[in-house]
Structure 1
Amino acid sequence: MKPRHHVSRTAIELIKRFEGYRRKAAQLPDGRWTIGYGHTLTARQGAEVSEDDAEALLLYDLIAVAKAVNELTFTPLTQNQFDALCAFAFNIGVESFRASRVLKQVNEGALIQAACGMELWRKAEFEGEVILIDALVRRRAAEKALFLTPPGGAWVPVPSAVLKPGLDIEAEALVPASPPAPVVTSLEGEAVRVLREDEPAPRPLPPEGESPVTAAAEAVTARLATVFPDEAAAPAAEPEPEAEPAPHLEDARPQADFAPPITVDTGGEDAAEPEAEPFELVPPEPAAEEAPELVIEENEPERVVEGPAAPDLFEQPSPANDARAAEAPSVDEAEAAARERVVIDDTAPYEFIPTPVQPLQRPKDGYLSLVSLAVLGLAFFAGGLFWAVNAQAGLEQPAWMSPKVVGALACVAGVGFFSIALFLLLQRLGQAAERADGNPRI
């Protein structure tokens, strides 16, 4: 039977060091009151306690924490490990400790992993923002050191000359990317005030009326103007001559290179310029063909001498090669061609010859695979049922990944696998019975 531990003076001093002593009750942002070393159960407005009474209230609060740690852990723990877990659970809350990965790893026997997992609880909400708190980093380090301290101080020697330490790249996630925020909590007054020592500087606002890019460009331009004075203004460029309009198609006719220049005799300054005649193209007259002479004699009927007669349009053209000399086929050849001719009778009935159909080849009865599928379904169902009943939800897991939801999905999958296997098995047995009766189903 696992022994029950009690909180020792070591855990009490560790908690008192990080909780701080508050003599008068102060109101929290959520409306509750706190007094002493983080006591909230019986605190009220105007109450005052001494240090001894505050320690008594702390011991009263640790009763429930020690009971929860004793009941939730199943791995044998040393006194230092129990004290570290009690201090850890007092800080994050019993419900958060119940759903944390630290408790899961402790029950699995992975005590070193559990100690390292305690360091991950180091962020808190401050002014609506979740930030890394310096005091929480130190508190987790102290709890981890207490958890790893062996009973009686019997440390295991690790000589540097024998085992030279190396860099653990996988542990880089424990190193914060930015320095933690130093936050200080006031212990005086009727209201709890949390102050941040390194208040971040506000971001510079852009000047009104112009963008930062425009202001920077103007500053650079002014600086260059002082370094390189302006030179004499360059002469203005002459305007380009306007392009002449394209000539008309009639004026773009090519001119002969050898044509002599045209000179006009004006006959004086006052003489009028003669008008040029319009240019015309005159088609050449076709040469007249000599017509046959018609001779008409008196006392004789009129005769017309005609040329050669026109060919008849309906007359078959004569062959222009040696084929016209080919002779007609003989009688024997015509009879041989008639004997070789095939006569098809469309009225005769057509004989239908069906194509032989090969029966489908049934796969071999895989009863082993169906039985395996059924066993897998039963395993899914049993595992999902066990997981939904015994598993505990983690703190960082969403609601749809809770153990009950995952277990229910596994049970549904198991029922589906078993049903499919049972259906296919009955179908195989029915087909085997039909083939045994001699009436296979295709």
Structure 2
Amino acid sequence: MSKAAIELIKRFEGYRRKAAQAPDGRWTIGYGHTQTARAGAEVSEQDAEALLIYDLIGVAHAVNEWIFTPLTQNQFDALCAFAFNIGLENFRHSGVLRRINEGALIEAACAMELWRRADFEGERIIVDALVRRRAAEKTLFLTPAEGWLAAPTPLLPPKLDADRTGLVPSQAPVALREAAEGERIVLTRDETPAPRPAPPDETEEESPVVAAAAALTQRLQAILPDIEPKPAAEAEPEPEAPSAESAKPETAEPVGETAAAPLRMVPRSEPQPAAPAATPARVATPPLLLLAAVGLMLFGWALYWAFSAQPTEDGGILSPLAISWFIGVIGIGCFGVAAYLMLERLGGEDDRLDRPGPLG
């Protein structure tokens, strides 16, 4: 076993000068040493490293006895660190050892990441520290002695592996903090709240989705201009010529205010023209165009996902292909509703009023 495995274990185990009792009742000291640990014992860093090397002798011997596939030094070091953490009995019955003896080294490295849970407060949780430790061991396992193999992106674009989706945790890993209360080790949840994300900068450029929706809205407005029906011109009585007494000189408009419409002199005896009836509120065009744009984007994205996603082996209802078609139907529905409302608006309210009712 090389120095790399020893340093990896020391970094994750942590140095403990005085012996402490773990929650399961065992005593531990140094870098995770439990065989000779007892109450009141103390050890220096040099002696703790010597105890660690002593513990790793049995681990290395077991790994040599149980593995029949040729390994590199990095692979052997990573497996020793992995077995030291989960225990020799768990390692002997793990899928990692089985896949290594089958010659599937890459699958064995992926199987190492599944050992990330622990029992805490009556439930089995994903521990943040174990996730990081498995990642470090997997990195050491996959580090080739002869150098890295080339995997250029233009030649080998990565695709989502649907067979390994179980590696993504369904719940957030829990960070545990270790505290010493006398000679006992107490584990507590790290209740430190996660830092809140900074508010978006108002000067920040809009996202590509918003920019694409705005461009599509402008194109639809150019194709389907907003046609507003104009009311028929009403006959207005001609104003009488104002007399010399009633005539007033025109005053200059105040600077900075909106110019008002010219006033028309109306005699007192002349009835005031009735104000035109308020037209019913109509659906604004920009929301309809935005709804149509969203529908087209959803339908296009669903088509892209449907032809690029790999179907899962179980073929369940919630497969990527089924979800893509469902989103595509939603996109078609949004575009259809928007198109119907825009065509209804272009027809105008007057046409519906002129139509004969069911009773003639």
Could you say which residue in structure 1 is the equivalent of 2:173? 180
**Which deviations, in whole Å up to 9, do the C-alpha atoms of 1:277-328 show, x marking residues without a partner?**
xxxxxxxxxxxxxxxxxxxxxxxxxxxxxxxxxxxxxxxxxxxxxxxxxxxx
Greater mean deviation of Cα atoms: 184-193 or 102-111: 184-193
* 1:129 equivalenced with 2:123 (yes/no): yes
Equivalents in 1 of 2:21, 2:71: separation in Å? 37
Q: CA deviation at 1:127?
A: 1.1
Equivalents in 2 of 1:41, 1:163: separation in Å? 49
Instruction: Answer whether contact 1:35 1:49 (CA < 8 A) is retained.
Output: yes
TM-score of the aligned structures, taking structure 1 as reference length: 0.43
One of 186, 194, 200 as aligned partner of 1:193:
186
* 1:111 equivalenced with 2:105 (yes/no): yes
Equivalents in 2 of 1:189, 1:76: separation in Å? 47
RMSD over equivalenced CA pairs, Å? 1.5
Instruction: Answer whether contact 2:23 2:186 (CA < 8 A) is retained.
Output: no
Could you say which residue in structure 2 is the equivalent of 1:165? 158
Could you say which residue in structure 2 is the equivalent of 1:53? 47
* 1:89 equivalenced with 2:75 (yes/no): no
Q: Does the residue aligned with 2:84 lie in a helix, a strand or coil?
A: helix
Equivalents in 1 of 2:87, 2:192: separation in Å? 29
Equivalents in 2 of 1:57, 1:170: separation in Å? 41
Q: Does the residue aligned with 1:97 lie in a helix, a strand or coil?
A: helix
Q: Which runs of 5+ in 2 are unaligned?
A: 194-360
Q: Does the residue aligned with 2:184 lie in a helix, a strand or coil?
A: coil
One of 45, 51, 73 as aligned partner of 2:67:
73
Could you say which residue in structure 2 is the equivalent of 1:309? none
One of 31, 39, 50 as aligned partner of 2:33:
39
Q: CA deviation at 1:170?
A: 1.9
Could you say which residue in structure 2 is the equivalent of 1:138? 132
Q: Does the residue aligned with 1:55 lie in a helix, a strand or coil?
A: helix
Equivalents in 2 of 1:108, 1:49: separation in Å? 42
Which is greater in Rg? 1
One of 148, 153, 165 as aligned partner of 1:155:
148
Instruction: Answer whether contact 2:59 2:80 (CA < 8 A) is retained.
Output: yes
Q: CA deviation at 1:31?
A: 2.3
Instruction: Answer whether contact 1:22 1:187 (CA < 8 A) is retained.
Output: no
Could you say which residue in structure 2 is the equivalent of 1:436? none
Equivalents in 2 of 1:145, 1:189: separation in Å? 37
**Which deviations, in whole Å up to 9, do the C-alpha atoms of 1:223-260 show, x marking residues without a partner?**
xxxxxxxxxxxxxxxxxxxxxxxxxxxxxxxxxxxxxx
Equivalents in 2 of 1:164, 1:188: separation in Å? 53
Q: Does the residue aligned with 2:79 lie in a helix, a strand or coil?
A: helix
Q: CA deviation at 1:189?
A: 4.2
Equivalents in 2 of 1:20, 1:136: separation in Å? 14
**Which deviations, in whole Å up to 9, do the C-alpha atoms of 1:338-378 show, x marking residues without a partner?**
xxxxxxxxxxxxxxxxxxxxxxxxxxxxxxxxxxxxxxxxx
Between the aligned residues of both structures, percent identity stands at: 68
Q: CA deviation at 1:199?
A: 7.9
